């Protein structure tokens, strides 16, 4: 042992001893438990407090530095932050994992068991919310001064259970045992107004001042969670707002015996931060959603304006010191709210206020799906936010006036770019508002950004050219490589050095050894260990035994028709039929793994879940295919489950109808961890193919352009079905109840959609998908070739680090400097 190693061992031992002391202290004095009485949860909280203390020290230093230098701040406004568990994020980024493990071991506690005790903070639906969480981590890693602003939902995304193959939704309770990471800030609270009226005051100088007198106010109270960057370089704040009524109860009502009525105001106010994505199929649900959006947008703006005024004195320098990113249209009302703050509260002339607003905001669009592009009925807006509606009308009048002066202006174009959609009963187009109020509008993959210019924002782009730009999504490698796949990460670190997580581009060095037999063996061994662990989890949760040497073919994401889980199921059945016809052939053992939630009100998606489960039931019980084919639906997909599945996946299903998946980020996580992708040329798949090489990815199906053309010709699936005997047989089996003997007609409607109304091109893409799957099989048989491709995927995925994405936002949209991480 040389001296250096000895020194390090000694300092590791010191670190562990110090952490052990600290944990004991927290257990006793903060949790209030003795060693003997402590539950796993108590140990978790004590450990979290120790990590949090370390973070807080640097947090205060970070805040102090930002205040002292007065540098520009970035504010990321998002109704979703899908952060998952935080313990390993905190320990990893503070470089405390190993000493903490040793400290707990000495106390007879297993760190990996504690990891499982922490509930997932599921304050998001899927990709958009998880992206916000990855961005928060990368913002801190790059030492950008930033706040995340969102809503502290009492209940995050529902818990999914599968009963008799069907999805059931239960409330999620992440706060039931408290949250050790957050700090309540009762002193940071703002009044949020709704409804009421506007008074116009005529000023001596002839101008008119508008004063909004809300009919109802709700209070927004801040809860802060520190977010540590890699190596603790910089710590930022995630500030989530919780809603309260100004008065805890109506004492008069209570004393008169109306005990429930006395609490009504409180209940009404608190419903704003009660649940993530309340059902919006009813008018009441829609109103609540709009209340949520305004609530958090207004609180965040009030907070950041106050901070700006304290630091910099005047409001006119706002755009020099503040960049606000609107994560989709959900916070878009902030454009009108900032105008109100500037014009009504700070007497900034309209034109200057508009210039400041545009210079301050950036807007990220995450979808082309028309149903996800928010619009609000004008009457609802007028009732709930009367002053904002006036402001929106004025923004629109000026905008339309300017556009009408352009040479090629037409009435049709003006109708298309108007903030008010007159065609569907007068609605405010929030995407348009965000577009107008921002200096940059970005899509989330190259294809998506290009499509924005020819679809939803075609007319706006023609009138305001150059505003649309692209920022292809990314994922944080600290969580999605190191924390999820520590074994593979150590192997990669041996190859590229220990700056791997400081600079993901270093992964390129892995390409040089991808063909090396010894390296491949170790790479495959790490992945096999992950597959054994996943097999154990499947056994434990579902009682299904799967073979870790089988090909793990994985589709994990929200269940949606455009994501086409159904295409995957059809191929499964086709292969199932073939095996049954020729059971003795040399089949490749394969496990189809599905996981994902369907929106509670999305009946077709729920039916797809049921179909996957019904198919699983029949296939898994069939002795003919034993050892060859298994189908698994893992319930309650969330961040933590993703962390278990992704490192164990061999094949990554990214099979959306081309032109419909804005980017995808699961595709990045899976390829990074060495799964080969089978996918369409959709979203970021296009760029993944460019990076990993066309030989190391399985691309199939119609392109976005071809889908467009095909839809033009009609969406009847009959032709495609007539051309494919396999497909016809599979559809017939499903429709006739082979997989639903208890209710033979269960899937007839679903099959009818595919035959007559195949908007998502399932039938059109079936054969080519089927062939791509056969190419996967051929590659799998040649293990050297497979592992080389897998290693090359890992090697070339460095570009998809969210550090790269955030550095691009910083340079092109926010105009703030970045400081790459690294020691010293």
Catalytic residues: 366, 557-558, 563, 665, 669
Q: Could you tell me whether strands 166-170 and 159-163 are parallel, antiparallel, or unpaired per DSSP bridges?
A: antiparallel
The interface region with ligand CRA, picked from 123-131, 342-350, 492-500, 700-708 by CB under 6 A, is: 123-131
Q: Which listed residue (156, 431, 596, 664) binds ligand CRA by CB under 6 A?
A: 664
Judged by beta carbon, residue 135 or residue 770, the one nearer ligand CRA is 135
Q: How many helices (H) and strands (E) does the chain have?
A: 33, 24
128 lies in the binding site for ligand CRA (CB under 6 A) = yes
Whole-number minimum distance, CB 667 to ligand CRA, in Å? 8
124 binds ligand CRA (CB under 6 A): no
Q: What angle, 0 to 180 degrees and rounded to 10, lies between the N-to-C axes of helices 685-692 and 783-796?
A: 110
Nearer to ligand CRA, 232 or 659 (CB): 659
Q: How far is the CB of 791 from ligand CRA (least distance, A)?
A: 25
Binding segment toward ligand CRA, per CB under 6 A, in 120-128, 249-257, 393-401, 599-607: 120-128
Mask for 439-468, x = binds ligand CRA (CB under 6 A): -----x------------------------
- State which of residues 84, 99, 119, 127 lies at the interface with ligand CRA (CB under 6 A): 127
* Residue 615 phi, psi dihedral angles, 5° rounding: -65, -40
The answer to whether the Cα torsion of 34, 36, 37, 43 is positive or negative is positive
The answer to whether 655 touches 666, Cβ cutoff 8 Å, is: no
Residues 6+ apart with CB under 8 A from 265: 245, 247, 249, 250
Region near ligand CRA per CB under 6 A, out of 28-36, 255-263, 656-664, 718-726: 656-664
For position 229 contacting ligand CRA by CB under 6 A, the verdict is no
Q: CB nearest ligand CRA: which residue?
A: 127
Q: Please identify, among the stretches 57-65, 344-352, 604-612, 659-667, the one whose residues bind ligand CRA according to the rule CB under 6 A.
A: 659-667
Residue 126 in contact with ligand CRA, rule: CB under 6 A = yes
Comparison of 367 and 763: residue with beta carbon closer to ligand CRA: 367
Question: How many whole angstroms separate alpha carbon 254 and alpha carbon 93?
Answer: 50
687 forms part of the interface with ligand CRA (CB under 6 A) = no
Q: Does 374 bind ligand CRA (CB under 6 A)?
A: no
> Where does 34-175 have alpha helices with state H?
40-69, 87-93, 97-106, 111-117, 127-141
Region of 560 please: left (phi>0), alpha (psi -120 to 50) or beta: beta
Number of residues that bind ligand CRA (CB under 6 A): 16
Residue 470, token pair as written in the block = 């692209």
Residue 805 makes contact with ligand CRA by CB under 6 A: no
Angle at 13 (CA atoms; ends 12, 15), nearest 5 degrees: 65
User: Which residue in 561, 661, 803, 808 binds ligand CRA (CB under 6 A)?
Assistant: 661
CB 328 to ligand CRA: min, Å: 5
Among 27, 77, 131, 441, binds ligand CRA (CB under 6 A): 131
Q: H helices within 94-232, ranges in order?
A: 97-106, 111-117, 127-141
For ligand CRA, the closer of residues 25 and 286 by Cβ is 286
Q: Longest C-alpha distance within the chain, in Å?
A: 94
Which of 61, 106, 267, 372 binds ligand CRA (CB under 6 A)? It is 372
473 is a site residue for ligand CRA (CB under 6 A): yes
Nearer to ligand CRA, 126 or 701 (CB): 126
Percent of the chain as helix, strand, coil, to the nearest 5: 55, 15, 30
Rule CB under 6 A: is residue 679 a binding residue for ligand CRA? no
Nearest to 791 by CA among 507, 435, 499, 440: 507
Nearest-approach distance from CB 234 to ligand CRA, in angstroms? 24
For residues 130 and 127, give the distance between their C-alpha atoms in angstroms, rounded to a whole number: 5
Does residue 662 touch ligand CRA according to CB under 6 A?
yes
Piece in contact with ligand CRA (CB under 6 A), picked from 254-262, 365-373, 575-583, 617-625 = 365-373
Q: Does residue 659 touch ligand CRA according to CB under 6 A?
A: no
Render the burial of 776-805: b for 16+ CB within 10 Å, e for the rest.
beebbeeeeebbbbbbbbbbbbbbbbbbbb
- Report CA 148 to chain centroid distance, whole Å: 14
| Sole window of 41-49, 158-166, 353-361, 663-671 interacting with ligand CRA (rule: CB under 6 A) | 663-671
Calpha distance 788→734 (Å, rounded): 38
Which string of b and e fits 276-301 if b means at least 16 CB within 10 Å?
A: bbbeeeeeeebbbbbbbbbbbbbbbb
Least Å distance, CB 264 to ligand CRA, is 33
CA dihedral sign of residues 644, 647, 649, 652: positive
Binding part of the chain for ligand CRA, among 126-134, 263-271, 515-523, 728-736 by CB under 6 A, reads 126-134
Candidate ranges 122-130, 161-169, 182-190, 749-757; the one touching ligand CRA (CB under 6 A) = 122-130
Nearest approach, Cβ of 451 to ligand CRA (angstroms)?
A: 12
**180 near ligand CRA, rule: CB under 6 A:** no
Residue 127 beta carbon to ligand CRA: minimum distance, rounded to whole angstroms: 3
Torsion of CA 385, 390, 396, 398, to 10 degrees: -150
Q: Which residue among 331, 659, 679, 683 contacts ligand CRA (CB under 6 A)? A: 683
Binding to ligand CRA in span 310-339, by CB under 6 A: 328
For residues 392-431, which are near ligand CRA according to CB under 6 A? none
Q: How far is the CB of 133 from ligand CRA (least distance, A)?
A: 11
604 backbone φψ class: left, alpha, beta (φ>0; ψ -120 to 50):
alpha
* Angle of CA points 39, 41, 43, to nearest 5°: 75
Contact 305, 341 (CB under 8 A): yes
Which of these, 432, 422, 427, lies nearest to 375 by C-alpha position?
A: 427
Nearer residue to ligand CRA within complex by CB, 396 or 665: 665
Residues that bind ligand CRA (CB under 6 A): 126-128, 131, 328, 366-367, 372, 444, 473, 661-665, 683
């Amino acid at each position: 042992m040389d001296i250096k190693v000895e020194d390090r061992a000694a300092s590791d031992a010191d670190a562990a001893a110090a952490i052990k002391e600290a944990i004991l202290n927290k257990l006793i004095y903060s949790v209030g438990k003795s060693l003997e009485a402590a539950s796993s949860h108590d140990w978790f909280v004590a450990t979290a407090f120790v990590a949090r203390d370390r973070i807080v020290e640097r947090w205060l230093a970070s805040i102090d530095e930002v205040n002292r230098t007065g540098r520009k701040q970035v504010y990321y406004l998002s109704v979703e932050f899908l952060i998952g568990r935080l313990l390993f994020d905190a320990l990893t980024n503070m470089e405390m994992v190993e000493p903490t493990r040793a400290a707990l071991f000495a106390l007879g506690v297993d760190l990996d068991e504690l990891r499982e005790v922490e509930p997932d903070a599921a304050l998001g639906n899927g990709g958009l919310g998880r992206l916000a969480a990855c961005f928060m981590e990368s913002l801190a890693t790059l030492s950008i001064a930033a706040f995340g602003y969102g809503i502290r939902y009492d209940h995050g995304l529902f818990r999914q259970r599968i009963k008799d193959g069907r999805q059931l939704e239960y409330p999620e309770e992440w706060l039931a045992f408290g949250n050790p990471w957050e700090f309540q800030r009762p002193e940071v609270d703002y009044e949020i107004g709704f409804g009421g009226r506007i008074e116009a005051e005529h000023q001596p100088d002839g101008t008119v001042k508008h004063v909004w007198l809300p009919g109802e106010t709700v209070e927004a109270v801040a809860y802060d969670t520190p977010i540590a960057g890699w190596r603790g370089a910089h710590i930022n704040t995630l500030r989530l707002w919780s809603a309260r009524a100004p008065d805890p109860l109506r004492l008069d009502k209570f004393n008169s015996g109306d005990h429930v009525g006395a609490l009504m105001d409180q209940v009404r106010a608190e419903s704003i931060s009660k649940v993530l994505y309340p059902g919006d199929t009813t008018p009441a649900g829609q109103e609540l959603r709009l209340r949520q959006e305004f609530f958090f947008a207004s609180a965040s703006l009030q907070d950041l304006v106050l901070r700006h005024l304290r630091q910099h004195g005047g409001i006119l320098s706002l755009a020099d010191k503040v960049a606000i990113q609107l994560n989709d249209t959900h916070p878009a009302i902030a454009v009108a709210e900032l105008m109100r703050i500037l014009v009504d509260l700070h007497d900034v002339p309209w034109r200057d206020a508009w210039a400041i607003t545009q210079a301050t905001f950036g807007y990220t669009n995450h979808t082309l799906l028309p149903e996800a592009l928010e619009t609000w009925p004008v009457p609802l807006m007028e009732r709930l936010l009367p002053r904002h509606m006036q402001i929106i009308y004025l923004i629109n009048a000026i905008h339309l006036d300017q556009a009408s002066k352009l040479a090629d202006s037409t009435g049709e174009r003006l109708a298309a770019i108007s903030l008010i959609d007159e065609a569907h009963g007068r609605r405010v187009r929030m995407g348009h508002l965000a577009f107008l109020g921002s200096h940059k509008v970005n899509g989330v993959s190259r294809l998506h950004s290009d499509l924005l210019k020819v679809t939803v924002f075609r007319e706006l782009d023609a009138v305001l050219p150059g505003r649309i730009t692209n920022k292809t999504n990314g994922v944080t490698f600290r969580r999605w490589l190191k924390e999820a796949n520590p074994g593979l990460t150590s192997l990669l670190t041996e190859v590229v050095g220990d700056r791997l997580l400081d600079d993901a581009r270093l992964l390129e060095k892995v390409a040089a050894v991808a063909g090396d037999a010894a390296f491949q063996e170790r790479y495959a061994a790490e992945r096999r260990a992950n597959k054994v662990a996943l097999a154990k989890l499947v056994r434990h949760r579902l009682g299904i035994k799967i073979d870790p040497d089988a090909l793990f073919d994985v589709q994990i994401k929200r269940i949606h028709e455009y994501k086409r889980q159904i295409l995957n199921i059809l191929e499964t059945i086709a292969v199932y039929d073939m095996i049954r016809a020729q059971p003795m052939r040399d089949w490749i053992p394969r496990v189809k793994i599905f996981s994902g939630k369907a929106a509670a009100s999305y009946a077709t998606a729920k039916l797809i879940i049921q179909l996957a489960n019904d198919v699983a039931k029949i296939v898994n019980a069939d002795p003919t295919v034993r050892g060859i084919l298994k189908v698994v639906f893992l319930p309650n997909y969330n961040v933590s489950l993703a962390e278990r599945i992704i490192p164990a996946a061999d094949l990554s299903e990214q099979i959306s109808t081309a032109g419909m998946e804005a980017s995808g980020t699961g595709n990045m996580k899976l390829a990074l961890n060495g799964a080969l992708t089978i996918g369409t040329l959709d979203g970021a798949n296009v760029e993944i193919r460019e990076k990993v090489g066309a030989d190391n990815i399985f691309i199939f199906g119609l392109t976005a352009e071809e889908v467009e053309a095909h839809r033009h010709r009609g969406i009847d699936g009959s032709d495609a079905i007539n051309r494919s005997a396999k497909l016809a047989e599979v559809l017939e089996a499903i429709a006739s109840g082979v997989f639903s003997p208890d209710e033979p007609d269960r899937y007839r409607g679903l099959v009818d959609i595919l035959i007559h109304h195949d908007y998502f091109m399932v039938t059109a893409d079936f054969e080519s998908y089927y062939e791509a799957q056969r190419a996967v099989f051929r590659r799998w048989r040649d293990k050297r070739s497979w592992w080389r491709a897998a290693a090359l995927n890992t090697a070339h995925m460095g570009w998809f680090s969210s550090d790269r994405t955030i550095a691009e936002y910083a340079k092109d949209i926010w105009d703030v400097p970045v400081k790459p991480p690294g020691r010293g």
